[in-house]
Amino acid sequence: MNTDLNFWLPALIVASSLVPGLVIFFLREGSHRLRTTLNLGGAVVKLGLVVWMIWGVFHAHEYETRWTLAPGLDLVLQADALSVLFVTLSTVLWFVTTVYAIGYLEDSPHRSRFFGFFSLCVSATVGLALAGNLFTFVIFYELLTLATFPLVAHRGTPEALRGARIYLTYTLGGGVLLLVGTVWLYALAGPTAFTQGGSLGHVAAADHGTLQVIFVLLMIGLGVKAAIVPLHGWLPQAMIAPAPVSALLHAVAVVKAGAFGVVRVVYDVYGVDLASELGLLAGLGIAAGVTIVYGSMKALAQDSLKKRLAYSTVSQVSYIVLGTAIFGPVGTVGGVVHLVHQGVMKITLFFAAGNYAETLGIHKVSEMNGVGRRMPATTAAFTVGALGMIGIPPVAGFVSKWYLGLGSVEAGVAEWVLPVLAASSLLNAAYFLPILYRAWFLRPAGAWPDEHIPAARFETTSTLLWPPLATAALALAAGLFATAPYSPLDWAYLIARREYGL
């Protein structure tokens, strides 16, 4: 048995949420203290292991867990700069979301089931982040689909079950195409390890047409979870899920898994040089640009706060895809850093939306008049997230858009990328600023729709309030200290240097 800690570290990071999740399934509903201990204990252990991995990867240490299932078919978990960035995001936001979910689901039924699948969802997300080849990625990608379905359907209402069925239909369909593309690529090129610069350099030029078709299959399969138009229809329907699940879907798990997969396939399977030579990046960039504008336009028409945020996610996640499609290191920095920036900003917005719903019964934008006076701390956090989405400094979203714009100039595609970024920012302002105006400057129309916590007490419970304040602070810090060592931007530069050999 291998006792090398460098061998076991990736597996231990996955197991730190998997094992508590499996135990939680067997707990009685009344085991609140033990369930909380397992949830938070697993999250703290995972944080510690990830910090260890960050230090090691930064200093070029190698961490790889490998099991051979059959000749030429290995299950591989490994750490590189890109995987560590996504694992860190998932781990930090899982911890914060766990605290939030404990407060949000207090006294609600089926908590053991919820937190069991919640932990499995994070385990699958971390597993695909650490996947060392396309085969391992597909396994965890499909496990993520299965683990999140019960979370979307958690409330058990007809609307929740319908939203969960739509989600499952879309994601399983995308998963089938991803699997077909993976098997086809394996038959053509053999094992497809994630390798800096790509692993398909040995494929003959005569197979380039086949590689183009496979790339399209992979992008459609990944594009479902990444909510690229027209594959995005499941995302607004899944908003029937509880707020912690919505936060998980948008900021940590599902949509990020799709976008992360796009980055992996372009950079570490095909390689940017081969992808550019095959003419694949232009189409991917156009799809991202259309999605960015379309999602923002749809968000304008939504009175439901969560649906407005959902269409905002459709738009914002495609910034990551756009940065991947912009051929050059600066565009890579902009896309990769937005993987983190969008996560912390969007989870802040969904936490705040959940607070409005749980405290005052607010579900619609039209119900938010004066809510900033009633819930100032929550609304301050929402304001930070919203301004970041628009791209206003010093919030992290400005950094992402700045580097995407610079990357488009470097790559010679500024004539269409800059207008897309400008249009998106204007549309972001058009659907976020009216919310802030209502919240801070208008008087309430009357009684709140369904007030659960009297105004005489603090605006909401501490377990619901501190998570959005913490993530809003992270969004500000990522912008204010963007150039600091180990910051998301610094790590994105590390990834770009290794991908482009700078």
Report if residue 400 sits inside a domain.
Answer: yes
What's the mean pLDDT when you consider all of the chain? 88
Q: According to the model, what pLDDT value does residue 56 have?
A: 87
> pLDDT tens digits for 147-164?
989 888 888 788 888 988
Q: Within a 10 A sphere around the Cβ of 60, how many other Cβ atoms?
A: 7
Asked whether the beta carbons of 270 and 200 are under 8 A apart, the reply is yes
Rounded average pLDDT over 377-399? 94
CA distance 376 to 380: 6
Which pair of tokens denotes residue 340?
């983190």
- Exposure pattern of 258-293 as b/e (b: 16+ CB <10 Å)? bbbbbbbbbbbbbbbebbbeeebbeebbebbbebbb
User: What share of the chain in percent tops pLDDT 70?
Assistant: 97
| Model confidence band, residue 143 (pLDDT cutoffs 50, 70, 90) | very high
Report the DSSP beta bridge partners of residue 70.
Answer: 73
- The enclosing H or E element of 463 equals helix 462-480
Closest by alpha carbon to 406, among 391, 417, 393, 422?
A: 417
CA distance 118 to 36: 13
Q: Is the pLDDT of residue 1 over 80?
A: no
Report if residue 101 sits inside a domain.
Answer: no
> pLDDT tens digits for 241-278?
777 888 777 777 788 899 999 999 999 999 888 888 88
Which pair of tokens denotes residue 366?
């039209």
Instruction: Say which residue the tokens 């003959």 belong to.
Output: 204
Q: Give Cα 179 to chain centroid, integer Å.
A: 21
Count of alpha carbons within 13 Å of 467, Cβ hemisphere only?
Answer: 31
> pLDDT tens digits for 71-87?
878 899 999 888 999 99
Residue 342, domain extent: 280-502
By mean pLDDT, which of 167-171, 398-402, 448-452 is the weakest? 448-452
CA distance 193 to 271: 12
Q: What is the dihedral of CA 467, 156, 363, 91, to 10 degrees?
A: 20
| Model confidence band, residue 474 (pLDDT cutoffs 50, 70, 90) | very high
> pLDDT tens digits for 181-207?
999 999 998 888 898 888 887 776 668
Q: Which residues, in sequence order, are CB contacts of 136 under 8 Å at separation 6+?
A: 74, 75, 76, 77, 127, 128
Report if residue 443 sits inside a domain.
Answer: yes
pTM: 0.92
Q: According to the model, what pLDDT value does residue 502 have?
A: 47
Which pair of tokens denotes residue 225?
């979870």
Q: Is the pLDDT of residue 293 over 50?
A: yes
By mean pLDDT, which of 351-365, 390-404, 414-428, 452-466 is the weakest? 452-466
CA distance 64 to 71: 18
Rounded average pLDDT over 438-444? 93
Q: Is the pLDDT of residue 135 over 60?
A: yes
Which pair of tokens denotes residue 276?
């550019």
- Exposure pattern of 22-56 as b/e (b: 16+ CB <10 Å)? ebbeebeeeeeeebeebbeebbebbbebbebbbeb
Q: According to the model, what pLDDT value does residue 154 have?
A: 80
Q: Which residues, in sequence order, are CB contacts of 460 under 8 Å at separation 6+?
A: 355, 358, 359, 375, 378, 453
CA distance 304 to 438: 14
By mean pLDDT, which of 105-119, 375-389, 396-410 is the weakest? 105-119
What are the backbone angles phi and psi of residue 309, rounded to the nearest 5°?
-70, -35
Q: Within a 10 A sphere around the Cβ of 474, how many other Cβ atoms?
A: 23
Q: What is the dihedral of CA 284, 289, 294, 297, to 10 degrees?
A: 160
CA distance 61 to 64: 10
By mean pLDDT, which of 35-39, 83-87, 304-308 is the weakest? 35-39
How many structural domains does the chain have? 1
Q: Which residues, in sequence order, are CB contacts of 428 under 8 Å at separation 6+?
A: 296, 312, 315, 389, 390, 391
Report if residue 119 sits inside a domain.
Answer: no
Q: According to the model, what pLDDT value does residue 138 have?
A: 95
Report if residue 178 sits inside a domain.
Answer: no
Closest by alpha carbon to 154, among 192, 190, 115?
A: 115
> pLDDT tens digits for 24-34?
888 887 777 88
Report if residue 452 sits inside a domain.
Answer: yes
Rounded average pLDDT over 321-340? 87
Report if residue 243 sits inside a domain.
Answer: no
CA distance 433 to 392: 12
Report if residue 402 sits inside a domain.
Answer: yes
